[in-house]
Amino acid sequence: MLGAVASLGAWVIKQVKDLGGMALLCLRTLRWTFHLPFRPDLLLEQMERIGVRSTPVIFMTGAFTGMVFALETCYALRKFGAETMVGVTVALGMTRELGPVFTSIMITARAGSAMAAELGTMRITEQIDALAAMAVNPIKYLIVPRLLATTLMVPLLTIVSDFVGIVGGYFVGVILLRINPGAFVANIEKYTGLDDIYYGLIKAAVFGFLLALVCCYKGYNVRGGAEGVGRATTESVVMSAVVILMADYILTSLLF
């Protein structure tokens, strides 16, 4: 009993410490973001690594999310004879929720974990110290480009995911389940606004920022050799996913 209380206490202390550390890293990163000269070379490199190379996997997850979503909504809406609403349900679901959330979770798994592992390895092999010793600020050189690139690329990839998801929904709804294509498209146009897309993209940008912050923080502060790198990588993925879902709830209730 006492042991359980103690380990709960230790857990709470660790979370609070992490939160403080992340807030601090966030502030330092913002400060160095506006420090001249800007480094577009580093930013582009990260955008390529985080964004461009993630496109295939986002394509796949987006398509199958839209397709399975169409299957499920068709199953439900058929009970009310409202199959023509499948398209708009998929479109709203993708742009407002599934696109941003699944994209950020996939980017966490693909790019965030790599970020944590790479920074962690640089920490334990003293490459981060070496940067500082060579008069290059590690926050500016390593963290700023990763944070900016992720914040920019997650919304862009979300657009890809939204689009592919809706196309996937169309394929399942119209081609496989024989819903009337005219009504399918007309309802999407009628009930989906640009607002829904923007709203999803704001979420995506916030998720991107948060996942990069978590993964950079975990990687940058690795202790304890290769084992520490492994632990930080796992923790960064788990924590990012939790943070994304929590932020999703908060943003959804705030924005609407």
Instruction: Pick the closer one to other proteins by CB: 41 or 178.
Output: 41
Residues 132 and 101: their CA atoms lie apart, in Å, by 36
Min CB(117)–other proteins separation in Å: 12
Instruction: Give residue for tokens 């169309």.
Output: 170
Min CB(178)–other proteins separation in Å: 52
Report if residue 48 touches other proteins, rule: CB under 8 A. Answer: no
Min CB(166)–other proteins separation in Å: 38
Min CB(124)–other proteins separation in Å: 9
Which span sits near other proteins by CB under 8 A: 94-102, 119-127, 150-158, 225-233? 119-127
Instruction: Pick the closer one to other proteins by CB: 121 or 185.
Output: 121
Residues 6+ apart with CB under 8 A from 185: 87, 170
Residues 6+ apart with CB under 8 A from 77: 83, 85, 86, 89
Min CB(116)–other proteins separation in Å: 16
DSSP category for residue 197: H
Joined tokens for residue 7 = 């380990």
Residues 189 and 192: their CA atoms lie apart, in Å, by 6
Please check whether residue 116 is in contact with residue 215, taking contact to mean a CB–CB distance below 8 angstroms: yes
Instruction: Pick the closer one to other proteins by CB: 9 or 193.
Output: 9
Site string for other proteins, 73-112 (x = CB under 8 A): ----------------------------------------
Q: How many residues bind other proteins (CB under 8 A)?
A: 12
Residues 79 and 249: their CA atoms lie apart, in Å, by 29
Min CB(121)–other proteins separation in Å: 8
Residues 207 and 201: their CA atoms lie apart, in Å, by 10
Q: Please, which contacts does 18-24 make with residues 24 or more away whose CB atoms are closer than 8 Å?
A: 18/217, 18/239, 21/217, 21/221, 22/213, 22/214, 22/217
Residues 157 and 102: their CA atoms lie apart, in Å, by 10
Site string for other proteins, 121-160 (x = CB under 8 A): x---xxx-xx-xxxxxx-----------------------
Min CB(122)–other proteins separation in Å: 8
Residue numbers at the binding site for other proteins (CB under 8 A) = 121, 125-127, 129-130, 132-137
